[in-house]
């Protein structure tokens, strides 16, 4: 398996890719049978943490989730709306960092939209982010660029809820073979 396969989680017609750039940032790609989109996240660890927390929210009582990827000078707003067991995923471009806060989705430019089964969507994101985080020991993000918590706890929680509620089957990785009884986890490094 080559690197591209490892970091592009694909299930049926949904794909989610994440490629760290040489210096800073990451390129996030999403796609379905109709269209693909790619955009830069300036702070990859924060962005991965935000998407994992957003997907965790799909297993709670709220009808949807919103979060932002910073990509100066612009910002991308992810909007997840639950439709039964499906999720409507919309990604909007806002021309200013923080410019989107408090403004309606319609004020942004819709760059990609897709309806996906929650299980398919979450499975692809989980596989991709686990592959990225497993390999991250080779190139840690500079501490000064980190503003939020580690994504690991959200990753473990999301995998646990996905396996509990989505009926993903035997092909789905266990929540975490490294998880300890106290809930802490260390990702294995090659
Ligand atoms: Zn799965």
Question: How many percent of the chain have pLDDT more than 90?
Answer: 59
pLDDT of residue 11: 42
Structural domains in the chain plus CATH codes: 3-165 (3.30.2450)
Distance 55 CA to ligand 1 centre (A): 13
Distance 42 CA to ligand 1 centre (A): 28
pLDDT tens-digit readout, 29-55: 999 999 999 999 999 999 999 999 999
In SS3 terms, the chain reads as: CCHHHHHEEEECCEEEEEEECCCCCEEEEEECCCCEEEEEECCHHHHHHHHHHHHHHHHCCCCEEEEEEEECCEEEEEEEEEECCEEEEEEEEECCCCCCCCCCHHHCEEEEEEEEEHHHHHHHHHHHHHHHHHHHHHCCCCHHHCCCCCCHHHHHHHHHHHHHHCCCCCCCCCCCCCCCCCCCCCCCCC
pTM as predicted: 0.80
pLDDT of residue 13: 87
Distance 116 CA to ligand 1 centre (A): 14
């Amino acid at each position: 398996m080559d690197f591209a396969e490892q970091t592009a989680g694909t299930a049926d017609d949904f794909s989610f890719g994440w490629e760290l750039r040489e210096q800073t940032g990451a390129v996030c790609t999403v796609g379905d049978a109709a269209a693909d989109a790619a955009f830069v996240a300036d702070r990859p660890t924060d962005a991965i943490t935000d998407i994992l927390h957003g997907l965790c929210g799909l297993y709670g009582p709220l009808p949807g989730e919103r979060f932002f990827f910073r990509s100066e000078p612009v910002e991308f707003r992810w909007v997840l709306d639950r439709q039964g067991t499906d999720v409507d995923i919309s990604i909007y471009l806002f021309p200013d960092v923080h410019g989107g806060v408090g403004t309606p989705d319609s004020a942004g430019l819709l760059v990609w939209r897709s309806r996906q089964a929650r299980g398919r969507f979450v499975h692809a994101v989980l596989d991709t982010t686990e592959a990225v985080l497993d390999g991250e020991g080779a190139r840690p993000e500079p501490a000064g660029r980190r503003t939020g918590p580690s994504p690991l706890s959200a990753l473990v929680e999301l995998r646990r809820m996905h396996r509990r509620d989505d009926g993903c089957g035997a092909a789905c990785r266990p929540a975490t073979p490294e998880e300890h009884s106290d809930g802490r986890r260390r990702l294995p490094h090659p």
